[in-house]
Amino acid sequence: MAEKTTIVNLTEEEFVHSGNRACTGCGLSIVYRMGLKALGKNTILVVPPSCLTVLQGLYPVASTKLPCVNVTFASTGAAATGVRGAMKALGKDDVNVVAWAGDGGTGDIGIQALSGACERGEDIIYICYDNEAYMNTGVQRSGTTPQGVLTTTTPIRGKLQAKKDVPAIIAAHGIPYVATASAAYPLDLYDKVKKATTIAGPKYIHVHTPCPPGWNFDTRYTIKVGKLAVETGLFDLYEIENGVFRLSAPSQRVAGGKRRPVKEYFATQGRFKSLDPELVEQIQQQVDAKWATLAAQAA
Amino acid sequence: MHIIESGNVAAATGVKLARAQVIAAYPITPQTPLTEKLSEFVESGQLAAQYIPVESEHSAMAVCIAASTAGTRAFTATSANGLLYMVEQLHWAVGARLPIVMCVANRGIGAPWTVWNDQQDSMSQRDVGWIQLYANDHQQIIDSVLKAFKLAQTVSIPVMVCYDGYLLSHTYMPFDRPEQTEVDAFLPPFAPTHFLDPENPGNFNTVTLPDVRPGVDGTLQPGYIEIRHNLHQDLRAALATYEEIDREYAERFGRGGTPFVEPYRCDDARFVAVAIGSLSYQLRDVIDQLREDGLAIGVMGVQMYRPFPDEAIARALAGKECVIVLEKALSYGNQGPLYGDIKSALYRLENRPVLHNYILGLGGREIRTQQLLDVLARSCANPGEIEDTPRWIGLKLQEEHHG
Amino acid sequence: MVKKSYCEMISRSQPGPGDGGNTGSWRVKRPVMDQKKCIPAKTGKPSCFTCWLYCPDCVVSKTIPPAINLDYCKGCGICAEECPAGAIEMVDEASFIGKEK
């Protein structure tokens, strides 16, 4: 395995311009910045409507220093297929073709095209930044919104259903590489994206992405909140490489017993304020059960 | 070289001769044999293209949009509900100014389900901004496909080549297959100015403001309305460009010369029937028979529906007594779409012909020659006043209400 | 007449800074770095750079000492929150009014 990247040896080259329209403290901005560093210059991006559309800028100014095609909401996986098809036709096999979409664009409206691309074995990297709701349109619930979360379409009781496990759905396609990552662990994310560039076939990276306005926390806590999601065992960092599941270092520590109670995470964000203690206890039990299994696997 | 094949294979052969580089398609009757043939061309090595068997028509057009933005010649084909499933993408492809070519094997649309021919599918897409060509026979299918690729990349606007499902897609007819060297001389490789290029990065189809805005170099760049106006202007200008492309094609291959409308026995005609697609050729037999009966009637096929060749149509129909528009499509609650367009094209004429509109053949209802003879004879005998409400041909189980 | 030049307008943006304008004006609080506490500044060695790593807006330089581009810094405070040496303080922008220029 490649050397782990450190802050000191991480490249200084940036592919995102300052002064873009992303919100203050945006988790996506961190994810995007790190991801593009790992991908490098020889990359073509495919982007559906999402916060990234806003971050990327309004015509005629682009905040991304890489070629990018904006596509319709449901079509990301297929559009990435088309770019790869064109690269094959043109003999430009060394270009990274990268789809970059939000959780709604990936797990809800875009899942058909993504599933098709995975089944066909397209040589693409698909990065889903999961900020757990439709943030760009003003925080409506999505399939990956966790249970109990207040959104503008679950305004009183919070979302009644559990979070859709999108990486598991994609992993079920049997593609060579599925990973989860977090904005709070940028070097881990960097190494996963870097690894994805070396693997042929479909690669899927699902990135937990705190959103200060959507999750209702102060902009300075983006990293803290992201770390807590991992430290409480609610969001797990792992890789599934050729079918082999492996917890990543931050989640290995959780498996090792240093897991914090989920209520600590819930307390940091206004979106959880309608959670009643009973549901918190229920979620804690679910997380405990999940980690009993994961710890057994890891041991 | 003359071969005898189906209309779908004529289309596939055109795509192969055009050296399409990326092909994406999803099966739907009656388009399916076209894409089967293309996959065979690719798998057997006769066509050096990427064939991508996508999971939906929406994705088929997504692949074409992305592949075209990346600088390759892209093709897809569909019918009926498949076309409607990609409607969002049709708008996207033309707004992004991508020279995609798509064949539409015309079929009625559900509900209720029908697999048979009419033209409601593509006619309902007249306002998206795609160029629409309609073929009347197998020869015109292959010729139109080749001209479509050239037109699309000349004007940076996608082109639909439409032909009647089953009546043309599945019937076998002889047609001339142009030589590859001749096609290569006619159709140069696609070499766009802007494409997805890591050496020269640009961000395509970004959110565009209502107003103009300075670019990175300080010069004012267009707003959404300017970009859309430019598209419309280019579509109108595409009429003359297509005329030129058709002329070049005719010089090279010996066929063409009637890019917009194809008149038959219209010169001395007092009456003209107008139709789109194979119906216009079926009507030729009817016209011949009516001529034998002494009726001064002709038929005109409309081969380019968007951009609408209004001047060519007005020229062809000026001075006629009555124009009878027969359509396998309807703007529900109004008239046949072609009828309304022809009416507006004739508005500025001093002696406007009387217009009649007939709807027929929806969902594959058989169009019998005797019916056509009867309605044309009736319209010619009593042109009367302009009739804005269409008459229906061949209705059973219910009275034909005029309207 | 046949038109020769088609497609003169297309939405293709060119990379450049400041699409959102001078986003430094969004700031409510300003990060102020105490170089006596900052690890690379103190040691003179390329180290730490936590502020640079986590900055969402690429406004911190990976230099000794790190510098913050206030033209574009939105003032999120992540750098202050994450600095292991507590070297960055978020100070009300209002307190700078009148002191600059």
The predicted-structure confidence for A176-188, as pLDDT tens digits, reads as follows: 999 999 999 999 9
pLDDT at B14: 98
Kindly report the nearest CA distance between residue B155 and chain C, in angstroms: 5
- Averaged pLDDT for residues C40-59: 97
Domain that holds residue C27: 23-96
pLDDT at B182: 98
Could you give the angle at the alpha carbon of B2 between the alpha carbons of B147 and B33, nearest 5°? 65
Instruction: From C68, A48, A164, C59, select the one nearest B65 (Cα to Cα).
Output: A48
CB < 8 Å to A20, chain C? 19-20, 23, 57
* Residue C39 is assigned to a structural domain of this protein: yes
For residue B167, what is the DSSP state? T
Average pLDDT, rounded, for chain B:
97
pLDDT at B399: 74
User: Which residues neighbour A224 within 8 Å (Cβ) at sequence distance 6 or greater?
Assistant: A184, A268, C81
- Contact yes or no for C16 and A17 at CB 8 A: yes
Q: A27-298 has which fold?
A: Rossmann fold (3.40.50)
Whether the CB-CB separation of A231 and A254 falls below 8 Å is answered with yes
- Contact yes or no for C13 and A61 at CB 8 A: yes
Nearest to C69 among A10, A18, A57 (CB): A18
CB < 8 Å to B227, chain C? 9-11
The predicted-structure confidence for B117-175, as pLDDT tens digits, reads as follows: 999 999 999 999 999 999 999 999 999 999 999 999 999 999 999 999 999 999 999 99
CB < 8 Å to C14, chain B? 202-203, 215-217
Per-residue pLDDT at B351 exceeds 90: no
Domain count, chain C: 1
CB < 8 Å to C90, chain A? 220
ipTM over 0.90: yes
CB < 8 Å to A186, chain C? 53-54
- Averaged pLDDT for residues A143-161: 97
Q: Residue-wise over A29-47: b if at least 16 C-beta within 10 A, else e?
A: bbbbbbbbbbbbeebbbbb
- Contact yes or no for C71 and A19 at CB 8 A: yes
- Averaged pLDDT for residues B336-350: 96
pLDDT at B204: 98
The predicted-structure confidence for B47-81, as pLDDT tens digits, reads as follows: 999 999 999 999 999 999 999 999 999 999 999 99
Distance between CA C46 and CA C65 in Å, rounded? Answer: 9
- Contact yes or no for C15 and B244 at CB 8 A: no
- Cβ contacts from B onto C, under 8 A: 58
Instruction: From B364, B392, B393, B367, select the one nearest B117 (Cα to Cα).
Output: B364
- Contact yes or no for C56 and A61 at CB 8 A: no
Nearest to C56 among A7, A29, A64 (CB): A29
- Contact yes or no for B205 and A44 at CB 8 A: no
Per-residue pLDDT at B402 exceeds 80: no
The predicted-structure confidence for A39-91, as pLDDT tens digits, reads as follows: 999 999 999 999 999 999 999 999 999 999 999 999 999 999 999 999 999 99
User: Which residues neighbour B237 within 8 Å (Cβ) at sequence distance 6 or greater?
Assistant: B155, C2, C3, C6
Q: Kindly indicate the confidence band of residue A295, based on its pLDDT and cuts at 50, 70 and 90.
A: confident
Distance between CA B403 and CA B122 in Å, rounded? Answer: 23
* Residue C10 is assigned to a structural domain of this protein: no
The predicted-structure confidence for B362-390, as pLDDT tens digits, reads as follows: 999 999 999 999 999 999 999 998 888 99
CB < 8 Å to A81, chain B? 24, 52, 54, 59, 62-63, 66
Nearest to A81 among B52, B71, B200 (CB): B52
Nearest residue in C to A221, CA atom: C78
The predicted-structure confidence for B274-302, as pLDDT tens digits, reads as follows: 999 999 999 999 999 999 999 999 999 99
Q: Residue-wise over B48-87: b if at least 16 C-beta within 10 A, else e?
A: ebbbbebbbbbbbbbbbbbbbbbbbbbbbbbbbbbbbbbe
Q: Percent of chain B scored above 90 by pLDDT?
A: 97
User: Which residues neighbour B225 within 8 Å (Cβ) at sequence distance 6 or greater?
Assistant: B210
Whether the CB-CB separation of A72 and B88 falls below 8 Å is answered with yes
Q: What is the CATH number of the domain that holds C42?
A: 3.30.70.20
pLDDT at C98: 80
CB < 8 Å to A95, chain B? 198
B89 touches chain A (CB under 8 A): yes
- Averaged pLDDT for residues C70-75: 98
Nearest residue in C to A14, CA atom: C58
* Residue C61 is assigned to a structural domain of this protein: yes
- Contact yes or no for A112 and B67 at CB 8 A: no
pLDDT at B401: 59
Distance between CA C13 and CA B203 in Å, rounded? Answer: 5
First to last CA, chain B: 48
- Contact yes or no for A82 and B53 at CB 8 A: no
pLDDT at C97: 85
Distance between CA B338 and CA B344 in Å, rounded? Answer: 10
pLDDT at C12: 96
- Contact yes or no for C6 and B156 at CB 8 A: yes
Q: Residue-wise over B240-268: b if at least 16 C-beta within 10 A, else e?
A: ebbbebbeebeeebebbeebbbbbbbbee
Per-residue pLDDT at A3 exceeds 90: no
Window 94-123 of B: residues touching A by CB (8 A cutoff) are none
DSSP character string of A181-223: EETT-HHHHHHHHHHHTTS-S-EEEEEE---HHHHT--GGGHH
- Contact yes or no for C8 and B230 at CB 8 A: yes
CB < 8 Å to C50, chain A? 7
Per-residue pLDDT at A256 exceeds 90: no
Average pLDDT, rounded, for chain A:
96
Per-residue pLDDT at A258 exceeds 90: no
> Token pair 């409308």 is at which residue?
B261
Nearest residue in A to C47, CA atom: A8
Domain boundaries of chain A, sorted by first residue: 27-298
User: Does the pTM exceed 0.90?
Assistant: yes
CB < 8 Å to A25, chain C? 56, 74, 76-78
Please report the domains of chain B, with CATH numbers, ordered by start residue. 2-186 (3.40.50.970), 262-392 (3.40.50.920)
Which chains are within 8 Å of B by 3+ CB pairs?
A, C
C84 touches chain A (CB under 8 A): no
* Residue C40 is assigned to a structural domain of this protein: yes
Q: Tell me the residues of A at the C interface, defined by beta carbons under 8 Å apart.
A: 7-8, 10, 12, 14, 16-22, 24-27, 29-30, 33, 56-65, 186-187, 212, 218-224
